[in-house]
């Protein structure tokens, strides 16, 4: 099992959710986050004074999938969340040791 962590532009969330559902993903965790990458924030003007917004709002999606599905899911997210402009986000893939469905006690891939 793998954990896919994807940070994307907030306005892309709905599109990504739809694409992932179509690709067979049956659950995900979503968090509103702030952060910076190569975009390095941006500037705003308030009452005539320019100021830097160092942390840009992003949405973090976390999905645990069977190893076989990883490539397809990562590709789906990349394709859907892409605008080609700076700040599109990043995807990380990590190993997962164990998974348990609380209701039934099923474990690992059965629990996904």
Partner 1 sequence: MTNFKTLATAAALLTMPSLAFAQDAAPGFDEIGPYIMTTLLFCMAGFLVFFMAAGFAMLEGGLVRSKNVTMQMTKNIALFSIAAIMYWLVGFNTMYPGDFNGFFAIGGQTVLDAVGVAAADAALDYASVGSDFFFQLVFVAATASIVSGAVAERIKLWPFLIFVVVLTGFMYPISGSWQWGGGWLSEAGFSDFAGSTVVHSVGGWAALAGVIVLGPRLGKYSKDGKIHPMPGSNLALATLGTFILWLGWFGFNGGSQLAMGTVGDVSDVSRIFANTNMAAAAGAVTALILTQVVYKKPDLTMVLNGALAGLVSITAEPLAPTLFGALWIGAVGGIIVVFTVPLLDKFKIDDVVGAIPVHLFAGIWGTIAVIFYNSDANLMTQLTGIVAYGVFTFVASLIVWFILKAVMGIRVSEEDEINGLDVSELGMEAYPEFAKG
How far apart are CB 10 and partner 1 at their closest, in Å?
17
Is residue 51 a contact point for partner 1 (CB under 8 A)?
yes
How far apart are CB 51 and partner 1 at their closest, in Å?
5
Distance CA 44, CA 51 (A): 5
In the set 26, 47, 85, 103, which binds partner 1 (CB under 8 A)?
47
In the set 1, 9, 40, 49, which binds partner 1 (CB under 8 A)?
49
Q: Reduce the DSSP state of residue 66 to 3 states and report it.
A: coil
Compare residues 24 and 57 and give the one whose CB is closer to partner 1.
Answer: 57
Is residue 102 a contact point for partner 1 (CB under 8 A)?
no
Task: Return the ∠ at Cα 24 (arms to 21 and 3), rounded to 5°.
Answer: 90
Compare residues 40 and 82 and give the one whose CB is closer to partner 1.
Answer: 40
Distance CA 85, CA 89 (A): 10
How far apart are CB 42 and partner 1 at their closest, in Å?
13
Distance CA 109, CA 67 (A): 9
Is residue 43 a contact point for partner 1 (CB under 8 A)?
no
Distance CA 28, CA 6 (A): 11
């Amino acid at each position: 099992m793998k954990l896919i962590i994807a940070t994307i532009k907030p306005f892309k969330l709905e599109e990504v959710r739809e694409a992932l559902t179509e690709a067979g993903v049956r659950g995900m965790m979503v968090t509103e986050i702030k952060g910076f990458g190569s975009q390095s924030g941006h500037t705003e003007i308030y009452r005539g004074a320019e100021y830097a917004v160092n942390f840009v709002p992003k949405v973090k999606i976390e999905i645990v999938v069977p190893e076989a599905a990883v490539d397809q899911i990562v590709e789906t997210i990349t394709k859907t969340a892409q605008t080609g402009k700076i700040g599109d986000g990043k995807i990380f893939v990590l190993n997962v040791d164990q998974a348990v469905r609380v209701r039934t006690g099923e474990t690992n891939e059965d629990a996904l």
